[in-house]
């Protein structure tokens, strides 16, 4: 796509549809185009960061056509609250908004959702335009009719469906995103690849290997692939209440981790997409434990987490808080669940959900969710290229024996090979279990290089933990 080009595509969501315009360095043109929509006021819903970085050009362009009512707040998930929605409503009405006004959301999914709610509620619905500025908004939230804010109990508890009349994206605005926010959209794209379009996995992995997520080719791939993945789903199920629930893959645990982490670390916490990536890796582990997903597919999930550079190590999080939010997840009513179950999207293979294609949700025991979540956030995975801890030593002979006994495998070259590589959150957990039990240090450099280690560790962790505990209790550990 050249600098001069301005493309558009029609997004179809069941009966609803709208044009999605996208190009490079086209913010002035965007403002002019929205300005031509005959409004008496533009209610611009944004956050202070986006406003400071890119606001001038958009606001100048809009003001050439009508008054602008600026509704900006400090950035972050905290914006998606009834309190802020109510303040925006009052401010807009006080400033003279009418049915001829247009809500223009300018920013990521957070201002997008808050502005979507404002447009849907003011005078029972006024026109809505999205100008996304994050990868998540550009490739996910603006391709959905869902608008929502959070309750004190969980994510997106208060919401509605509302159709924008257009979406305008200047891809160049995405290039000012910090790495973490860039990655966030690629995490959502990874979720789409795993759950809907496995054929796109090789191109995603190539982009991740190159590491230039803000390059024009990477951003254009992200947009095109996301449009393709979402349209497969939302043309059939615009409200994402039946087959479209597949888009929620990774979101049950992801949302819970995102919300709890945000309560502790604010905007420094995990981004939405990063939380979803932890969520899909955890969902794969659950599906593996339930005997639904094969090891190879589960390993692709954990490898992707590492390739995306997402660390699941969140030691400050309280597991029971996370489980509380999982329990209150807004998919709960779709299935008749017992008090100790959660509704989740799980895969039986890449691109194939467990359960009915028309309702890809299954009930999962909460204690299994709790076990997997605590393994994840307590242990963590590490990016393949992260610096190694100092002073790593070879595995002790004693540890080798106990590992082999725990796994019921002989100690030979093959065992040593398995023990010598891989990437997995459990690897770190196993290392710390061994470290505690015997005071040995493990050769992390080789450990994290061998992809076969992830499968090995998955099978071994439970046995190993109990053997390690037992050995330690009997004083055999040293």
Residues assigned a catalytic role: 146, 248
Residue 215 or 432 having the CB closest to ligand NAD = 215
In this structure, the dihedral spanned by the alpha carbons of residues 54, 55, 57 and 63, taken in order and rounded to 10 degrees, is: 170
- Among the residues of 269-412, which ranges form H helices? 272-289, 295-307, 319-327, 366-379, 397-407
**Footprint of ligand NAD on residues 33-52 (CB under 6 A)?**
47, 49-50
* Interface with ligand NAD in residues 3-22 (CB under 6 A): none
133 binds ligand NAD, rule: CB under 6 A:
yes
List the x/- string, 49-68, binding to ligand NAD by CB under 6 A. Answer: xx--x---------------
Q: CA nearest 393: which of 467, 446, 471? A: 446
| Shortest distance in whole angstroms from residue 296 CB to ligand NAD | 29
The residue within the footprint of ligand NAD, chosen from 23, 55, 108, 154 (CB under 6 A), is 108
In the bound state with ligand NAD, the residue whose beta carbon lies nearer, of 47 and 307, is 47
Of residues 41, 84, 127, 146, which one binds ligand NAD by CB under 6 A? 146
Per CB under 6 A, 136 contacts ligand NAD: yes
Nearest Cα to Cα of residue 120 among 152, 149, 157: 149
Encode 220-244: b = buried (16+ Cβ within 10 Å), e = exposed. ebbbebbbebbbebbeebbebebbb
Contact 75, 50 (CB under 8 A): yes
Q: What minimum distance in Å lies between the beta carbon of 15 and ligand NAD?
A: 18
Q: What whole-number distance in Å separates Cα of residue 457 and Cα of residue 380?
A: 14
Q: Give the binding range for ligand NAD (CB under 6 A) out of 93-101, 266-274, 342-350, 378-386.
A: 266-274
In contact, 110 and 133? CB cutoff 8 Å: no
Q: Which is nearer to ligand NAD, 77 or 455 (CB)?
A: 77
- Binding segment for ligand NAD (CB under 6 A), chosen from 29-37, 136-144, 426-434, 463-471, is 136-144
Residues contacting residue 295 through CB under 8 Å, at least 6 positions apart: 288, 455, 458, 459
Site for ligand NAD in 185-224 (CB under 6 A): none
Answer for which of 84, 118, 140, 427 binds ligand NAD (CB under 6 A) is 140
- Spatial distance between the Cα atoms of 224 and 147, rounded to a whole number of angstroms: 23
What is the distance between the alpha carbons of residues 168 and 8, in angstroms, rounded to a whole number? 9
Query: Distance between CA 46 and CA 448 in Å, rounded?
Result: 42
Binding mask 351-390 for ligand NAD (x = CB under 6 A): ----------------------------------------
Restricting to residues 63-92, name those near ligand NAD by CB under 6 A: 75-77, 80
In 85-156, at which residue ranges do the beta strands (DSSP E only) sit?
102-107, 127-132, 146-149
Q: ∠ at Cα 45 (43, 50), nearest 5°?
A: 130
**Token pair 């303040």: residue:** 87
Token pair for residue 432?
A: 């710390």
CA–CA distance, 270 with 391 (Å, rounded to integer)? 30
Binding residues for ligand NAD, rule CB under 6 A, total 33
Q: Output 137 or 253, the one with its CB closest to ligand NAD.
A: 137
- Of 20, 27, 73, 181, the one binding ligand NAD by CB under 6 A: 181
| Residue of 101, 105, 141, 426 that binds ligand NAD (CB under 6 A) | 141
Q: Which of residues 149-178 bind ligand NAD (CB under 6 A)?
A: 155-156, 173-174, 176-177
Cβ-based nearer residue to ligand NAD, 184 or 458? 184
**Bridge partner list, 73:** 47
Task: Retrieve residue 446's tokens.
Answer: 């080789």
Q: Which is nearer to ligand NAD, 229 or 437 (CB)?
A: 229
Give the contact letters, 270-299, x = binds to ligand NAD (CB under 6 A), - = no.
-xx---------------------------
For ligand NAD, give the closer residue by CB, 41 or 54: 54
Return d(Cα 123, Cα 441) in angstroms, integer. 65
Residues at the contact surface with ligand NAD, assessed by CB under 6 A: 47, 49-50, 53, 75-77, 80, 107-111, 113, 133-134, 136-137, 140-141, 144, 146, 155-156, 173-174, 176-177, 181, 184, 267, 271-272
């Amino acid at each position: 796509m050249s600098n001069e080009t301005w493309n558009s595509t029609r997004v179809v969501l069941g009966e609803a549809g709208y044009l999605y315009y996208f190009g490079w360095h086209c913010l002035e043109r965007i403002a002019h185009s929205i300005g031509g929509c005959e409004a008496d006021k533009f209610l611009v819903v944004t956050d202070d960061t986006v406003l400071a970085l890119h606001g001038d050009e958009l606001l100048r362009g809009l003001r050439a056509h009508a008054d602008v009512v600026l509704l900006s707040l400090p950035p972050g998930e905290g914006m998606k609250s009834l309190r802020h929605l109510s303040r925006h409503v009052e401010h807009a009405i006080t400033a003279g908004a009418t049915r001829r006004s247009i809500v223009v959301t300018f920013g990521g999914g957070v201002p997008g959702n808050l502005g979507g709610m404002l447009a849907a509620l003011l005078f029972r619905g006024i026109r809505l335009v999205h100008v996304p500025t994050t990868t998540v908004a550009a490739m996910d939230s603006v391709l959905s009719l869902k608008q929502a804010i959070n309750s004190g109990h969980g994510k997106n508890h208060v919401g509605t469906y509302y159709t924008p009349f257009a979406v305008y994206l200047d891809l160049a605005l995405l290039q000012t995103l910090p790495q973490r926010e860039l990655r966030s959209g690629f995490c959502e794209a990874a979720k789409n690849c795993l759950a809907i379009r496995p054929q796109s996995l090789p191109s995603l992995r190539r982009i991740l290997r190159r590491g230039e997520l803000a390059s024009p080719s990477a951003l254009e791939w992200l947009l095109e692939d996301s449009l393709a993945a979402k349209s497969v789903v939302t043309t059939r199920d615009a409200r994402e209440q039946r087959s479209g629930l597949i888009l929620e893959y990774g979101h049950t645990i992801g949302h819970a981790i995102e919300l709890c982490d945000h309560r502790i670390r604010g905007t420094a916490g995990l981004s939405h997409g990063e939380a979803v990536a932890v969520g899909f890796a955890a969902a794969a582990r659950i599906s593996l434990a339930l005997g639904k997903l094969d090891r190879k597919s589960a390993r692709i999930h954990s490898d992707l987490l590492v390739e995306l550079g997402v660390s699941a190590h969140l030691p400050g999080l309280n597991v029971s808080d996370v489980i509380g939010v999982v329990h209150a997840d807004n998919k709960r009513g779709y299935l008749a669940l017992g008090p100790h179950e959660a509704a989740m999207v799980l895969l039986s293979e890449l691109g194939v959900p467990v359960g009915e294609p028309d309702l890809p949700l299954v009930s999962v025991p909460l204690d299994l969710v709790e076990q997997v979540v605590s393994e994840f956030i307590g242990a963590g995975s590490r990016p393949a290229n992260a610096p190694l801890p100092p002073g790593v030593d070879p595995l002790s002979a004693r540890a080798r024996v106990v590992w082999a006994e725990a796994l019921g495998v002989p100690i030979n070259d093959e065992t040593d090979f398995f023990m010598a590589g891989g990437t997995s959150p459990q690897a770190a957990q196993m290392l710390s279990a061994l470290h505690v039990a015997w005071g040995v240090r493990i050769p992390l450099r080789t450990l994290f290089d061998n992809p076969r280690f992830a499968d090995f560790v998955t099978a071994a962790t439970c046995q190993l933990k109990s053997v390690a505990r037992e050995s330690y209790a009997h004083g055999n550990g040293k």
